[in-house]
A and B are shown apart, each in its own frame.
Chain A
Amino acid sequence: MTEPTIFELSSPGRQGVRFPVSDVPEVEVPAEFRRKDLPLPELAEIDVVRHFTRISQKNYAIDLGFYPLGSCTMKYNPKINEETSRLPGFAFTHPLQPEDTVQGNLYLMYTLQEWLKEIAGFAGVSLQPAAGAHGELTGVLIIQKYHADRGDTQRTRILIPDSAHGTNPASSAMSGFEVVHLPSDARGNVDLNALRELCDERLAGLMLTNPNTLGLFDENVTAVIEMVHSAGGLVYGDGANLNALLGIVRPGDLGFDIMHINLHKTFSTPHGGGGPGSGPVAVAPALVEYLPDPVVAIIEPGSEDLPPLYGYAHPAKSIGRVKAFNGHFGMLVRAYTYISMHGKEGLRNIAEKSVLNANYLLAKIKGVYHLPYDRRCMHEFVVEGMWPDAPGIRAFDIAKRLIDYNFHPPTNYFPLIVHEALMIEPTETESLETLDAFADAMLKIAVEARENPDLLHEAPHNAPVGRCDEVRAAKQLILRARKA
């Protein structure tokens, strides 16, 4: 059922919440600046609660079911995170409070920096970036300044594999680099011959996602990194897929110079319908002084009686600030809580179960769905959503039909190098029963695709709305509510 907008629900004279009357002498707002009309809706508290509760029920969510959205790591979001991040000592601290009044916050940030360094194998971490793409921008700006400071201004090219996230080229271009695409080889690894040809004095860096967006661990990763390093370039690791590597291998040990870490993927902070994320950036020793300003450090070491004094430090060659204040602190508290509940054994268990789940699911549907790169996968895999004997059926139709089985569809049409891609990431928090039920649905849909293709073309049948007319949306461009 269509839910009216808050503007349509408005009734003049209603007020959802009252505030105290002023307790100070009244002064006039200068007439020249006084607003004439404030066209906000007017609703009672109950109207607001029912409206947002009703629309919430039109959403699919992890708390409702399986969400195998590839490269997004839609794992369960522990409820304790929501309690700890709202503790008054955290939620009611102002970002510009004097450092000695926020030692708890600074301790937490410092410790999280240390933990992320240890987990990923790097020498320095900035918690400032607000999201994965923001971390990428930060990383690429570090590459830019590193070369500029060395007088290497002819290094203007960033290499990006064809299987990369779309944000990689956009981040590079924003930072003034020329983007050069790098092909994959027949096994889904970086094509070493193509890479060799591009390793010259113009090379600034390579942005590599490993495991890549096919869910494959690059078998030549150390050779790739060495090749870039010997040409004078830096290697950026897109940490979107770090979940598969926790306690398994540290990207820093493999030779990566920079990596962003998605706290909203790997470390369970909620996706919130599209944000807030959090994208800390980790760097190798040579780049620590380039991190965004400031980082948290121990200003005065502790003693037997006193804890250390934590405060802000300013990296000497910093690229500058990428965001106001201290990053998404609320997300940092959640990630801290999550890591503290796992410890070293627990983290390795996350990676093991996420890879186990993905390989199990792959084993169940392989054969019925074509696997273009037939190798063991990491935490996710990509199959083709099409069959020669089911003409007219596309990945899109399979995705929409899954909704009828009460599953969120996988990522589709990405990565671009697979036709009709369906990219499936189950995560470690799903049970054998859930995986079996999803595999059954996938297999049933493969049969339906041949026997009753219209069932797929017209799907979903039982969602709050059916397929939406996106062309109409883009043409008519109604981007705000009509007034009641």
Chain B
Amino acid sequence: MFTPHTPKDVEVMLKTIGIEKVEDLFTEIPEKYRFPELKLPLGLTEMEAAEELESIANANGSTKTLLNFIGAGAYDHYVPAVVDMLLRRGEFYTAYTPYQPEISQGTLQAIFEYQSLICELTGMDVANASHYDGATAAAEAVILAYHHFKGKRTKFLLSRAVNPQYREVVRTYMRGNQAVSILGDDPETGIDASMDKLIAQIDAETGLVMVQYPDFFGRVIDYKPLIEAAHNAGALVAVAVNPTALGILTPPGEIGADIVFGEGQPLGIPLSFGGPYLGIFAVTNDLLRKISGRLVGETVDNAGRLAYVLTLTAREQHIRREKASSNICTNQGLMALASTIYLSLLGKKGFEAVSNLCYQKAHYAAAQISAIQGYKQVFSETPFFHEFVIRSPQPAAHLLEDLRAYDILGGYDLSKDYPELDNCLLIAVTEKIAKEDIDLLHDALIEVTHD
């Protein structure tokens, strides 16, 4: 299978080492614990394993078998065949971190192109080679701001309309730092699109204000007043983005964001039950030295040829050790490559088309559903992208369960994270959803509401 040793090979090797049997290699292991009897099943052949895994996979419903309107941070987009074909080249996926630039130019150039594409998309100056996902990128934004102000600003404001999982991860990351307070996302501050209550909390202690664009509810909010207020107080602003929306919407870099980050999964990465995804992270030139994670830069080799290398490595954990601001030592290499191929292939026109299709279909869906008696679009006065909130006449959990009889995953139940949004559903629509699918959801909602 995966070990090529013949009995004769083993014999030759033992003789060279100067021992009699393989067990002799392990005499330094405390005898009491040596060679435990593991309670595991017997090994399967490839054919058997393939069958078993298929039967496990078949025990799931998926977006291939169910009509899916769940988004809430992960989106079901079409991924062209080219993306996975290229990703599966052994030269990419069986390589490691490009520590040896002479034989890693493929990985390095791909990351360089990834950084460039993310800069263009977000309107920012510099992007790193990626973080683990959108949520951990949010935590890295807070860490960056904390170090940027050398620990002197200790208040970090997160809008309540930032993805609840992002906020949870920020809190976990910062739990060891007693000096820091994470504020702004309490029910009092609320989810009003005006952002007035959040802006009112910005002061001289504030290191960072974090908002999302489109926000967790899909709303497209004008953050210029908030950014101005934050900058006046000397604070940084981080904007979480859905990259798909930036195909048609003004990027945060153009309205003064200091940090733009987000979940890159919509860029050609399968849903895959939540991972592996891609943490996008980009900053202005002013924060270039503060960015954690890998960066690839252009240089030349000893013959003057163009080459790419990992650069500014002195910031990283393997050199700075406990003085490093972050412990990250890899990036999401293969996922960054997937998004690079996806964006190159779709290009200016294709990406704009996907973005616009999402926008159009979501607006049709919102109009259809809010026309049903008893259903109302919440925040209907605020522009939205491809996700919107519907208040239904019954608890969202019941509604979603009823829709399952129609093989529909009707959306995300918001009441769990937002008690003030009882009976509310978050519905996402991507380019994969046809008009008939929306009509099907509409009709199913009418039927389940009769009861």
Contact = CB atoms under 8 A, between A and B. Distances in A.
> Per the CB under 8 Å rule, do A and B touch in the complex?
yes
Interface string B57-82: 11111111010101011101010101
A104 B322 contact: no
Nearest to A131: B330
17 contacts: A15-B346, A15-B350, A29-B249, A43-B347, A49-B82, A84-B54, A95-B273, A105-B273, A118-B39, A130-B133, A272-B332, A274-B333, A320-B168, A324-B163, A337-B49, A465-B105, A469-B299
B190 interface: no
B16 interface: yes
Interface stretch (B110-118, B200-208, B226-234, B369-377): B110-118
A479 interface: yes
A150 interface: no
Contact of B354 (A3, A19, A67): A19
Contact of A339 (B2, B40, B100, B107): B40
A131 B132 contact: yes
A211 to B, nearest CB: 9
Given A33-B383, A170-B324, A273-B96, A473 B311 contact: yes
A197 interface: no
B263 A324 contact: yes
Contacts of B63: 92-94
Interface stretch (B153-161, B173-181, B387-395, B443-451): B173-181
Contact of B344 (A32, A48, A480): A48
Contact of A95 (B74, B78, B85): B74
Interface in B1-43: 1-5, 9-10, 12-14, 16-18, 22, 25-30, 33-43
Interface string B329-353: 1111111010011011111111111
Interface in A304-337: 319-331, 333, 336-337
A193 interface: no
A452 interface: no
A186 B98 CA distance: 34
B44 A363 contact: no
Given A40-B117, A432-B5, A248 B26 contact: yes
B321 interface: yes
Nearest to A27: B363
Nearest to B360: A22
Given A57-B91, A76-B2, A320-B172, A171 B327 contact: yes
B39 A29 contact: no
A136 interface: yes
* In the complex, the 6 A-B pairs of residues with the closest C-beta atoms, listed nearest first: A325-B274, A89-B57, A63-B90, A176-B176, A95-B274, A272-B334
Contacts of A479: 112, 115, 126-127, 288, 295-298, 311
A186 to B, nearest CB: 16
A34 B222 CA distance: 12
Q: Interface on chain A toward B: helix, strand, loop, or mixed SS? A: loop
Given A274-B333, A344-B40, A217 B29 contact: yes
Given A40-B347, A52-B344, A144-B176, 15 more contacts: A59-B107, A134-B132, A145-B175, A170-B321, A174-B327, A249-B35, A275-B334, A278-B276, A322-B169, A360-B13, A376-B28, A467-B102, A473-B309, A479-B297, A480-B126
Given A39-B120, A323-B132, A324-B169, A270 B321 contact: no
Contacts of B346: 15-17, 40
Contact of A40 (B10, B57, B351, B434): B351
Q: How large is the interface on A (under 10, 10 to 19, 20 to 34, 35 or more residues)?
A: 35 or more
A320 B175 contact: yes
B412 interface: yes
Nearest to B412: A96
A470 B311 contact: yes
A399 B328 CA distance: 25
B22 A356 contact: yes
A273 B334 contact: yes
B35 A55 contact: no
A85 B53 CA distance: 9
Interface in A341-388: 341-350, 352-353, 355-357, 359-360, 363-364, 375-376
Counting chain A CB atoms within 10 Å of each CB, which of B105, B263, B272 scores highest?
B272
Contacts of B112: 5, 479-481
A133 B305 contact: no
A341 B28 contact: no
Counting chain A CB atoms within 10 Å of each CB, which of B49, B316, B404 scores highest?
B49
Interface string A423-460: 00000111110000000000000000000000000101
Nearest to A111: B56
Nearest to B6: A432
B256 interface: no
A74 interface: yes
Nearest to B295: A479
B60 A103 contact: yes
A6 B113 contact: yes
Contacts of B52: 340
Contacts of B356: 22, 29
A431 B3 CA distance: 8
